Copies of this chain bind each other. A is one copy, B any other.
Amino acid sequence: MIHFSINKAVFLQALNTTKRAISHKNAIPVLSTVKIEVSNEGITLTGSNGQISIENFISIQDENAGLLISSTGSILLEAGFFINVVSSLPDIVFDLKEIEQKQILLTSGKSEITLKGKETELYPRLQEVSTSNPLILETKILKDIINETAFAASTQESRPILTGVHLVLTENQTLKTVATDSHRMSQRKMQLEKAGDNFDVVIPSRSLREFTAVFSDEIETVEVFFSNNQLLFRSQNISFYTRLLEGTYPDTDRLIPKEFNTKVTFDTAHLRQAMERARLLSNATQNGTVKLEIQNGLVSAHVNSPEVGRVNEELDTLSVSGQDLMISFNPSYLIDALKAVGSEQVEISFISPIRPFTLVPNTNQEDFIQLITPVRTN
């Protein structure tokens, strides 16, 4: 029968992290609960939506937590409701005690709240991932890679494999990360500092976005472990499991063009603002596109919506070279691409009005490349 006392803020933070894996409206009702397991070493909070599972450990050695364990045990509590109740407690510490079978008493200040829980036997067993031989990655680098690629994954289930991000480690140190929804693609390559076993996996982009929310910047490194159909990101206190997508990821290397006819260097922020203006009107056109015109070293953007109005804008450029060109595309794709670029300037390279164009930060030509497919007009 559980009995412990703890600092409210520390417990709430762990609870809120765990909650990110818990969906209020899960088809499996027990997955709307949080599992609390109290051992002599600390408390483990577990949440899962069947795709992602998060385990959060609070150690008795964590001085901020001030965790005092009087008795061990485990229980399931309705996650959203439990968080609201703990948030509302009046004191900076609280006491949680199982008073009768699967019923807990929270005491804080003069407030006493009794909540009904459930048997932990009802909770599904999470997939096990063997934790030997980890790949060790810097959290910041991993989050950067995710932010640079995951947005380009598909959000439609018509081709499920494209809703994932393809991560491939070759030669034990070359990591390639790529995502595409077949209209645009983003690919990041890098050499890892520490070698690891080669792998080739497709991770749901939604899981990766949750990863970036769960692992704060204070966590310097994460260990990565793989099983057949699961991946585990682990830090000192957090274990984050995600299922992997099954199937073969398309060969994206062959899509990247090598030779171009026109190159333009833009200021990233200026180009993004111009595309945001263009999008306001392109949203009201039939094909939703902006037309970029490169002529005699001048670049301009044009949208003509017969219903709403027109945009005509000369774009600031830092350099223009090669052939003149007119090309139409969805400005949202370019805006997303520019958001993902960390550099102040960006180089965009074109072949023809009907071939994909590439976008690279001008600081790092080789390792981060994005591709956007134009839209044929007339």
Give the interface of A toward B (CB within 8 A). Answer: 78, 81, 84-85, 88-90, 103, 110-116, 273-274, 276-277, 280-281, 307-316
Contacts and interface: CB of A to CB of B under 8 A. Distances in A.
A136 to B, nearest CB: 43
A81 B283 CA distance: 11
Given A85-B280, A280-B81, A274 B114 contact: no
Contacts of A273: 88, 90
A312 B116 contact: no
A205 to B, nearest CB: 28
Contacts of A111: 274, 277, 311, 313
A308 B110 CA distance: 20
Contact of A280 (B84, B90, B312): B84
A89 B111 CA distance: 55
Given A88-B276, A273-B90, A113 B81 contact: no
Contacts of A78: 308
A4 B273 CA distance: 24
A103 B114 CA distance: 66
Given A84-B280, A280-B88, A307 B116 contact: yes
A253 to B, nearest CB: 37
A89 B313 CA distance: 11
19 contacts: A81-B280, A84-B280, A85-B277, A88-B277, A89-B277, A90-B277, A103-B309, A110-B314, A111-B274, A111-B277, A111-B311, A111-B313, A112-B310, A112-B312, A113-B277, A113-B312, A115-B308, A115-B309, A116-B308
A308 B277 contact: no
A307 B280 CA distance: 51
Contacts of A115: 308-309
Nearest to A77: B309
Contacts of A280: 81, 84-85, 88
Contacts of A309: 103, 113-116
A358 to B, nearest CB: 25
A112 B308 contact: no
Nearest to A306: B116
Contacts of A85: 277, 280-281
A310 B113 contact: yes
Contacts of A281: 85, 113
Nearest to A284: B81
A263 to B, nearest CB: 21
A101 to B, nearest CB: 14
B81 A308 contact: yes
A255 B144 CA distance: 64
Given A84-B280, A85-B281, A113-B309, 12 more contacts: A81-B308, A85-B277, A85-B280, A88-B273, A110-B313, A110-B315, A112-B310, A112-B313, A113-B277, A113-B310, A113-B311, A114-B311
A316 B90 CA distance: 12
A38 to B, nearest CB: 19
A29 B295 CA distance: 42
Contacts of A312: 112-114
A224 to B, nearest CB: 39
Closest 8 CB pairs of A and B: A115-B309, A114-B310, A110-B314, A88-B277, A114-B309, A111-B313, A112-B312, A113-B311
